[in-house]
Structure 1
């Protein structure tokens, strides 16, 4: 866990935010270059990504608040204004409708743009999950594997581990929730949640060893990026084919990955057996199945233009 890299004019720069920004920029660069090959204007890529990211962040934060609604009711400001705390699937679903509106303006096929952006989305997601690892959020369940990791008890990002009184870990205390900050002091979500659920004593120095589930996801997303990129260049026969494969593989991998998560307050249902992300991923699989069965009717051949010519008067 390394919550802050450095300061710029007194403003702490976190790996979480920096890696998300790098992921978005890298994904845009990849999509822009590939878009030229199929006649999609660079400006259409920029416009789609801008509005998709804007609505995506809003949706991701709303989803985070909903799955932590109890903490939100107790003290809403830390959850609303935290520099961490986003639910990827919430952002993904929120971005889809606005992208449709943007693409109508650019006269670009929705599924052609979805194919173009799917590998970039996986790549950006890999960067974001690495940011989660540095922030300590989205951590894994307790395990005894040699590659397990332990997150620090509580740290001052300028000076390292620090001691706080037991009262600081109680409701109303300085470190009541993992996303809270007090000056330069940052709470470790894994450590705090394990104390809260009786797995640790508040005086312990680090969390129990847990699965580095964020790094598992990094590997999965990089694998998805490589596979989808290869398919896009070599095996694309229908507009929508690459995005459909992304839906299948992302949803299936997310359902499995959730089995290794340890953050109990991310939203659990049916007695704790199913997480919110697993429910959403199950819905995505149903959608992917329907699209797969109807793909010949719904998806145009990839040989057809990805974008129609725009009128000179179009803004």
Structure 2
């Protein structure tokens, strides 16, 4: 590695108002998810479900925020993390979002699996866009790396310094290494963005399937589980379990298994 990428946070100032790249990416992610859901439901002729999508997306946003924070608090054991700016964990947000969306859809007396079938496409699209926000703010980066696209995060959240990598992520460095040195790492936010777009392309390709409602959401669960399982090998994490897998990988396997059950159970018999 001769010239590592030097990352700096993306921030826009509109007078006294500060807009972060993360906030803009999350906003764009939910907007794109709503557009995908509504247009696909309209294409399928499900107007009642399509008209309810703005409320469902709002439920998804609230469920994501609550679930992501709750997961992080449980993981760290720090209740004060509820009030920190960071600490939004995808799997916690996903579980919280699905739970609150299910409650909202049932309250409106609509078909949950019918909406879920197009939601998988929308979540993949939103995920790809939303992960650019992690890149913009400089969090969720990976382990030390000296290859192509290696990136340093001197102003990351937190910075990718020797001290941070050692204390928070359990990375070992040679004795005498300067704790303030900035370490080059895997830009896992970009890996996740790319894999998110691949998931979206695959699910979009199968949007006209002839199986029962919910089949395509099962396909999303499998794809999301595979994506997360892979990227965890590169992420800067220190929560490996005794069987050598992280908590996120265990959840990924569980979500993937649910996806297999959905695809098999909702497969239309010939």
TM range (shorter): 0.7 to 0.9
CA RMSD after TM alignment? 2.4
Please point out which of 245, 261, 267 is paired with 1:274: 245
The within-5 A match list for 1:98-247 is 98-152=100-154, 155=155, 179=157, 187-189=158-160, 192-196=163-167, 197=170, 199=173, 200-204=177-181, 206-207=182-183, 209-233=184-208, 235-247=209-221
Q: Please identify the structure whose Cα radius of gyration is greater.
A: 1
Q: Is the 8 A contact 2:220 2:259 kept in 1?
A: no
- How many Å separate the matches in 2 of 1:251 and 1:203? 36
Q: Tell me the TM-score normalized by structure 2.
A: 0.85
What residue in structure 2 maps to residue 15 of structure 1? 21
Q: Is the 8 A contact 1:137 1:189 kept in 2?
A: no
- How many Å separate the matches in 1 of 2:223 and 2:236? 22
Q: Is the 8 A contact 1:67 1:276 kept in 2?
A: no
Please point out which of 231, 234, 248 is paired with 2:222: 248
After superposition, the Cα gap between the structure-2 partners of 1:293 and 1:25, relative to the gap in structure 1 and judged at 3 Å, is closer
- Structure 1: where are the runs of 5+ without partners? 156-177, 180-186, 302-315
- How many Å separate the matches in 2 of 1:84 and 1:228? 30
Q: Is the 8 A contact 2:224 2:256 kept in 1?
A: no
- Structure 2: where are the runs of 5+ without partners? 1-6
Q: Is the 8 A contact 2:61 2:97 kept in 1?
A: yes
SS at match of 1:232: coil
- How many Å separate the matches in 2 of 1:54 and 1:115? 21
The within-5 A match list for 1:46-125 is 46-69=54-77, 72=78, 76=80, 79-125=81-127
Task: Give the superposition deviation at 1:189.
Answer: 5.0
SS at match of 1:268: coil
What residue in structure 1 maps to residue 3 of structure 2? none
The answer on 1:283 being equivalent to 2:235 is no
The within-5 A match list for 1:292-307 is 292-296=263-267
Q: Tell me the TM-score normalized by structure 1.
A: 0.74
Please give the per-residue CA displacement for 1:210-243, whole angstroms capped at 9, x wherever unaligned.
Answer: 111111110111111111112113x342211110
Q: Is the 8 A contact 1:112 1:239 kept in 2?
A: yes
- How many Å separate the matches in 2 of 1:37 and 1:62? 36
Q: Is the 8 A contact 1:122 1:221 kept in 2?
A: yes
Q: Is the 8 A contact 1:136 1:190 kept in 2?
A: no
